[in-house]
Amino acid sequence: MPSFNIAPIDASFGAVVTGIRLATVDDERWRELHQAWLEHALLIFPGQHLSRDEQISFARRFGPLEFDMAAISNVKSDGTLRIEADNDDVVKILKGNMGWHADSTYMSVQAKGAVFSAEVVPAAGGQTGFADMRAAYDALDDGLRTKVETLAAHHSLHYSQAKLGHQPEAGSAYSGYGFHAGPVPLRPLVKTHPETGRKSLLIGRHAHNIPGLDPDESERLLDELVDFACQAPRVYHHSWSAGDVVIWDNRCLLHRATPWDMTQPRVMWHSRIAGDPVAEASLN
């Protein structure tokens, strides 16, 4: 039995973990946490209040980082707010993140996972949703499961943001991460987890243009898969309190933000765990 408390949430995945301090976790407890993470795919740690260095250090326990830490926030560096009416590049990215997706599928190597924490939360809204693509794959009927096993899709942030009418402007406050030139990654619709061996759907808003299908048929199939996959009991939306920390497995979950009143600040911190250069590489 683990030396901390694990309470599964009311979904096909996920658990709330208490009785542990992430800033001081030792190697034995981390190994127990890692096993729980592989089983549940999402671990929620209330009231941790990690410092920047503590969050980065904890994330690094799971492997090299794609990037140490980035703010996901409508608060500018001068403390003023980006409100929805601004509709600048950062707001457009925040809105794009409200569609179901997996991180860095548009890069040559998909992310392994992420540690995400809350510093400032709005009075209402601003939850983060998660969806279990393992359970979604298991729930497909036999015919559709056989079909998707043979298919792949391209993944692009240019594509997903363009659907919202967004292309980043020169001199934008957004760093431009993900808006790279070069080959568009091709990824199978069914991913085998490199550590558990479980299969899951690899879909979401960045996926498009399935080779061998008409573009309209491709878009229709991908939309239908997301609509089917992201339903109870395969979804959970976390209502944040300041100090909460979560870690999710990006190899088998989708996630999304939910809207909030952008006249209120929301400050979240994201540390992205790099994927294995073989297991998470694109097909091309």
What letter would DSSP give residue 192? E
Region 244-267: mean pLDDT is 98
Confidence tier at 181 by pLDDT (50, 70, 90): confident
Confidence tier at 160 by pLDDT (50, 70, 90): very high
For residue range 20-71, what is the model confidence (pLDDT) as tens digits?
999 999 999 999 999 999 999 999 999 999 999 999 999 999 999 999 999 9
Q: Measured in whole angstroms, how far is the alpha carbon of residue 256 from the centre of its chain?
A: 7
- Judged against a pLDDT cut of 80, whether residue 169 lies above it is answered with no
Spans of all domains in the chain? 5-273
Please name the residue that has the structure tokens 């490199």: 194
Q: Which residues contact 156 (CB under 8 A, 6 or more apart)?
A: 106, 184, 185, 206, 208
- Judged against a pLDDT cut of 70, whether residue 170 lies above it is answered with no
Q: Can you name the CATH fold of 5-273? A: Double-stranded beta-helix (3.60.130)
Strand-pair partners of 272: 67, 114
What is the structure's pLDDT at 171? 67
Output phi, psi for 116, to 5 deg: -130, 135
C-beta atoms surrounding 30 within 10 Å: 16
Give the number of residues written for the chain: 284
Confidence tier at 119 by pLDDT (50, 70, 90): very high
Cα–Cα–Cα angle for 185, 186, 187, rounded to 5 degrees = 115
What is the structure's pLDDT at 142? 97
What is the structure's pLDDT at 267? 98
pTM (two decimals): 0.96
